[in-house]
Every structure is written in C-alpha cells, then in structure tokens.
Amino acid sequence: MVRSPKHALPERDRSHSRGIPGARQEQAMAHTTRPSLVARTLSLAAALGVLACHSLTATPSLAATLPCTAAAAQAVAQPGMTIGPINDLNPALPAVPTGALLVPAADSTPSYCLVTGSVITNPNTGKTANFGVALPLTWNNKFLFSGCGGYCGVVF
C-alpha cells in the first residue's frame, strides 16, 4: 500500500529527545561544559607534575644544585602552592613529614624526591587540593603521564 504525502508519517525531529525541544543539544553541552571530577583531577595531577618538573629545572644550574628539601621545593613553588605534609597520602607511599623526602633506590627503581603539599583551587573560598609528586633527582627534560591505576578520581 502506498501512502499519499497527506498520510505519510512525519519525519522524526532528531534535535528532540523524548519530546523536549533542544534536549539533545543541552545534553551534549552538559558533557562539554561540565568536566567530571576524574577529568579535573587528572588535569590537576598532570599540571602539577609538569609544573613541578619545569619549576625544578627552570635553569640548568638550579636543576643541578637543588636539594630534595621542603625549603628548596617551596622556593620554586608557584603562588598558592604550599609544600608540606598531607594527612591522606596514598598508603603505598612512604610518609613525608616535612613535605619532601629523598626516597632511596630499591630494586630497579632509582632514587627520587617525593614532594607533597597542597594548592589553592578556589581563591574565593580558600579550598585546596592535596598533591604528591615523585621527581627524579636528575631530570632528562621528558614528562610522561601514564594514567592513575586504581586511584582514578581520587585526590589524596
């Protein structure tokens, strides 16, 4: 049976979702304008890692002479960043009572400087986020961020 144009079924308007005009666009916008906590956490961790590596190697002489101490890390920290102990560090890592700890080499892992602290995430409220970053003692000017394993979405 051939239907005449008068009786043809109407085309579905793809811009509607469940009969609400523009809902599909709003749903798409919500995903692009409201990043998830995981994305924000990963971005913050990557930014802190890059910032720390860049700050500690800003000049070749600084990179060669900077000791693994809280005072040295604080001296190159950006405004709003405090180097110091944090209470909820990953239990698999050693405690860092001063904010910087020289971790000796073990098995195939070379020694490194473990730096912990906090950074102000909202200047209006004073809210902070804790961070921990393991910095090599001699940096080869390369940075690799390879995911977060079982700690995705966790800010420690």
Q: CA-to-CA distance for 82 and 80, rounded, in angstroms?
A: 7
Identify which of 139, 119, 122, 141 has the alpha carbon closest to the alpha carbon of residue 131: 119
Q: CA-to-CA distance for 63 and 123, rounded, in angstroms?
A: 30
- The pLDDT of residue 101 is 93
What is the SS3 assignment for 6?
helix
- The pLDDT of residue 125 is 93
Identify which of 83, 77, 31, 39 has the alpha carbon closest to the alpha carbon of residue 58: 77
In terms of pTM, does the model score above 0.85?
A: no
- The pLDDT of residue 26 is 47
Structure tokens at 63: 């990179």
Handedness of CA 129, 53, 76, 111 (dihedral sign): positive
Below-70 pLDDT ranges, the chain: 1-65, 88-90, 147-156
| C-alpha dihedral, 60 to 63 to 54 to 99, nearest 10° | -160
